[in-house]
Structures are given as C-alpha cells and as structure tokens.
Chains A and B, each alone.
Chain A
Amino acid sequence: SQTIHQWPATLVQPVGSPLSLECTVEGTSNPNLYWYRQAAGRGLQLLFYSVGIGQISSEVPQNLSASRPQDRQFILSSKKLLLSDSGFYLCAWSVGTVGSPLHFGNGTRLTVT
C-alpha cells in the first residue's frame, strides 16, 4: 500500500532563517506531488505541484521554492523565512489520472518568530 511521510511535524524558526520541509511517498511510481499551505481557520492554498522529477509548477509567487530531486521526494524550501510564512504545510500525492483524489501527509506546523 502507498504511504506518505512528511517531516518535521512541528518547527519553530526565527525570521530570516532557512527552511527545508521534506516529503516522501512509498508504494507508487511517478506520483503527482503537491505542497499546500493552510492558514489558521482557513482553507488550503496550493503552493506547488510536480508531475515528474525536476518539473515544478508554482501557483503563488512567494518566498518559497520547491524541488523534486527524486521521483518520490518533494522538498519545500526558503532561503529567508518571513513572519507571514507561518502556517500549516501539507504535502500530498495522487496518481497521474485526472480526477484522482489527493492523499495527504500529516502536515508540518511552522511558526516563524
């Protein structure tokens, strides 16, 4: 069966520090991968998605970047965090078929101080 791992679960970082959140998927090949952000009490905002190694699409211009160095690995990064980067970050995967549901990781709660 397929599983998705996302870490760390919680992170507190000072303003201006770098960020690296990692997500890996097991049990499937060539998944579509996604990074979403959820602000407190609000819906999910798509940040990045990837349909293959090295292929990254950005939905929202921001202080963040994403990379996919391996088929089942997706990394969310920032060189210098802003206070506004605080939130709950969710990684997700789906198979390549249109209409396939997303399967989410457990999320990372990021607090920028």
Chain B
Amino acid sequence: AQTVTQSQPEMSVQEAETVTLSCTYDTSESDYYLFWYKQPPSRQMILVIRQEAYKQQNATENRFSVNFQKAAKSFSLKISDSQLGDAAMYFCALTRARQLTFGSGTQLTVLP
C-alpha cells in the first residue's frame, strides 16, 4: 500500500517571504510520480507541480520548486516570494498505476 504523510496541518508565512511545506511518502514501486496540488477557498483542486521519480533534477514552476529526496522518500514544496493568492490548502500526492494517493493537506496562511 502507498502512503503520503504531511506532518504540518497548518503553516503561515509573511508576504514576500519563503515557506517550505513537507511531505514524506512510502511506496514499493521504483517508478512513480509525485504532485503538489493547491486547493484555495473556492475548493477547486489546482495542479502546482509534478515530479518524475526517475529524474534527479528538482521540478520548478515559477515561484514553486520542490526538493525531491528519493532515498529519504521526501518531497517538499518551496514557495518563494509568497503572495496573498498563495493562501490555500496544499496537498502532496503520489501515483499508483492510474490513481493518486493524497496526503491530509497543509493549510497555508499568508500574512500581509
């Protein structure tokens, strides 16, 4: 069975600062994919970033980047220059065949 753990239920960051959200996972598969999704108050799930496990290079999307440590089974999300619009619930997710297993989420508050 696959598991995804987000140990930080809530985080806060000052506007324009940097914050890192943690995620650890467990899987017996050697080839898999990891994702971060964002769920703002509208509750729509929005893809933030995707990482392929066979790629050593960390994925980056504008102000969002990941620190992927395959041996440690860690997949953290770094948000740089935080903006008020980044306030949301963030979910880490891991594939299993055609399905995604989600963590329990981290609620991010951005302070003006």
Contacts and interface: CB of A to CB of B under 8 A. Distances in A.
Interface of A: 32, 34, 42-44, 46, 49, 51, 59, 88, 90, 92, 94, 96, 98-99, 101-107, 109
Interface stretch (B12-20, B40-48, B66-74, B77-85): B40-48
B107 to A, nearest CB: 9
Given A99-B52, A101-B47, A106-B44, A32 B98 contact: yes
23 contacts: A32-B98, A42-B104, A43-B91, A43-B103, A43-B105, A44-B91, A49-B99, A92-B45, A96-B98, A98-B97, A98-B98, A101-B35, A102-B47, A102-B100, A104-B44, A104-B45, A104-B46, A106-B42, A106-B43, A106-B44, A107-B43, A107-B44, A109-B43
B33 interface: yes
Interface of A is mostly: strand
Contacts of B47: 101-103
A73 to B, nearest CB: 18
Given A43-B91, A43-B103, A94-B98, A101 B45 contact: no
Nearest 9 CB-CB pairings of A with B: A99-B33, A104-B45, A43-B104, A44-B102, A43-B102, A101-B47, A32-B98, A107-B43, A106-B44
Interface string B52-69: 100000000000000000
Contacts of A32: 98
